[in-house]
Amino acid sequence: MDIRETFEKLDKQFTSYGGLDPRGITRLLYSEEWRQAVDALKEIFEENGLEVSSDAVGNVSGRLIGSEKPEETIMSGSHIDTVVEGGHLDGQFGILSALIATLYLKEKYGQPKRTLEVLSIAEEEGSRFPYTFWGVKNFFNLQNNDDVKDITDGEGIKFVDAMRESGFDFRTDDKVRDDIKAFIEVHIEQGQILEKEEKKIGVVTGIVGQKRYTINLKGEANHAGTTPMGYRKDAVVAFTEIAQTLVTKAREIGDPLVVTFGSVKPVPGVVNVVPGEVEFSVDTRHIDEKELNDFAKTVESTINEVAEKYGMTADINLWMEQEPALMDEGIVNMIEESAEKVVGDSYKVMPSGAGHDSQIFSNYMPTGMLFVPSIGGISHNVEEETDIEDLVKGIEVLAETLYKLAY
């Protein structure tokens, strides 16, 4: 099998399901484009002798049954959905990598000792409906069906109606599979580190934990011309000091700690009024739980100190906490050995700054991830791209790892 040729053919085919002109994909959960991709994947599984199955909500897999331990499964895959106006690699590359690696191993070595399974996860992005990880949450019976029963997409279509129109429904059993002995996900980095450091492969040690806040900082709105600088309770000025202080502290602590102020809304937000209120967000992430918790305390204390300094009040709402998800040490070492065999020393052991399905898998089974570079670090964008040779190397490293696990 020519891995490059096979990938280019499959990538072109699957990019057409929701494909945009001149590039990119919009393929949302339970849409017509999503159904086309899922159906095409089933056909390819069948044509290549893989045993096809799908669950209640649309997770689909193809299995190459093992000869000696068929009841033990080595799984690889990713999510089939995309963001709106996304690229052709986020999620899709992980599924196609798993498929190509499995077919390559089958052609070269025959039947594996353990079962190899290619998994297409129904949804991860939360792009159509305000709910993320629907596919993998159902895989482990973690979903809360009540959370989706009344939600709708941007056109007012109910989640439940879209699901049932696609031929799926809520799961009725609570059994969780116990046959999976390892899960490996391949993904584009979605960042610039590998490209900047000229590395071909990222060996992922874990997925960072996150804390997200919404802060309402209240000062006093007043006339922009008649209020002297010394008399003001300018919420934007206070916010600026908070942001600058926390960015400085984060840089002093160093990578991989990050802090982001992605949403800033001054009130009243007009040119001739001193802003008396600011609502802003804080997103902070780290791979080490203690470091994350320590910086979160710094975030809260800094906000309170600055608010007190300017005679303001601060309402701090911590609305999202996600612990770091560490990859299995044995799997990490195995991927590193495979990377060294394929690309020599052109790999980097690193954390993932973005969330992935693997973070949930890692709670239930030995899990590993590997990255390929993203050109310009661009992702969730139609311009998302990776050099074809890097994509091929990623598939080769995956194949080598699956060989170690299944053969």
Question: Residue 334 maps to which CATH number?
Answer: 3.40.630.10
CATH number at residue 303: 3.30.70.360
Which pLDDT tens digits describe the chain residue by residue (407 residues)? 999 999 999 999 999 999 999 999 999 999 999 999 999 999 999 999 999 999 999 999 999 999 999 999 999 999 999 999 999 999 999 999 999 999 999 999 999 999 999 999 999 999 999 999 999 999 999 999 999 999 999 999 999 999 999 999 999 988 899 999 999 999 999 999 999 999 999 999 999 999 999 999 999 999 999 999 999 999 999 999 999 999 999 999 999 999 999 999 999 999 999 999 999 999 999 999 999 999 999 999 999 999 999 999 999 999 999 899 999 999 999 999 999 999 999 999 999 999 899 999 999 999 999 999 999 999 999 999 999 999 999 999 999 999 999 99
**Residues at the annotated binding site for Zn(2+)?**
79, 90, 125, 187, 380
Q: Is 330 left (phi over 0), alpha (psi -120 to 50) or beta?
A: alpha
If asked whether residues 189 and 226 sit together in one domain, one would say no
Which domain-ending residue is among 322, 357, 377? 322
Indicate the Cα dihedral angle 352, 92, 79, 367, nearest 10°.
-50
What is the pLDDT at residue 174? 87
The model's pTM: 0.91
If asked whether residues 313 and 402 sit together in one domain, one would say no
Give 147's contacts (C-beta < 8 A, 6+ positions apart): 131
Which domain-ending residue is among 277, 298, 322? 322
The three-state DSSP-derived secondary structure of the chain is CCHHHHHHHHHHHHHCCCECCCCCECCCCCCHHHHHHHHHHHHHHHHCCCEEEECCCCCEEEEECCCCEEEEEEEEEEECCCCCCECCCCCHHHHHHHHHHHHHHHHHHCCCCEEEEEEEECCCCCCCCCCCCHHHHHHCCCCCHHHCCCCECCCCCEHHHHHHHCCCCCCCCCCCCCCEEEEEEEEECCCCHHHHCCCCEEEEEEECEEEEEEEEEECECEECCCCCHHHCECHHHHHHHHHHHHHHHHHHHCCCCEEECCCEEEECCCCCEECCEEEEEEEEEECCHHHHHHHHHHHHHHHHHHHHHCCCEEEEEEEEEECCEECCHHHHHHHHHHHHHHHCCCEEEEEECCCCCHHHHCCCCCEEEEEECCHHHCCCCCCCCCCHHHHHHHHHHHHHHHHHHHC
**Residues at the annotated binding site?**
79, 90, 125, 187, 212, 272, 285, 380
If asked whether residues 269 and 348 sit together in one domain, one would say no
If asked whether residues 361 and 313 sit together in one domain, one would say no
Question: Which residue type is seen at 122?
Answer: A
What is the pLDDT at residue 45? 98
Q: Are 40 and 55 in contact (CB under 8 A)?
A: no
Alpha-carbon distances of 73 from 38, 63, 235, 385, rounded to whole Å = 22, 9, 56, 31
If asked whether residues 7 and 154 sit together in one domain, one would say yes
If asked whether residues 301 and 247 sit together in one domain, one would say yes
Q: Structural domain tally of the chain?
A: 2
CA–CA separation, 182 and 368 (whole Å): 8
User: Tokens 């570079």 — which residue?
Assistant: 373
Question: Which residue type is seen at 126?
Answer: G
Give 50's contacts (C-beta < 8 A, 6+ positions apart): 62, 63, 64, 102, 118
Largest CA distance in the chain: 84
**Residues at the annotated binding site for allantoate?**
212, 272, 285
User: Tokens 């300017």 — which residue?
Assistant: 310
CA–CA separation, 332 and 346 (whole Å): 16
If asked whether residues 385 and 312 sit together in one domain, one would say no
Q: Are 325 and 363 in contact (CB under 8 A)?
A: yes
Question: 150 is in which domain, residue-wise?
Answer: 3-208+324-406
If asked whether residues 97 and 224 sit together in one domain, one would say no
If asked whether residues 247 and 236 sit together in one domain, one would say yes
If asked whether residues 181 and 37 sit together in one domain, one would say yes
Which domain-ending residue is among 306, 322, 338? 322
If asked whether residues 278 and 344 sit together in one domain, one would say no
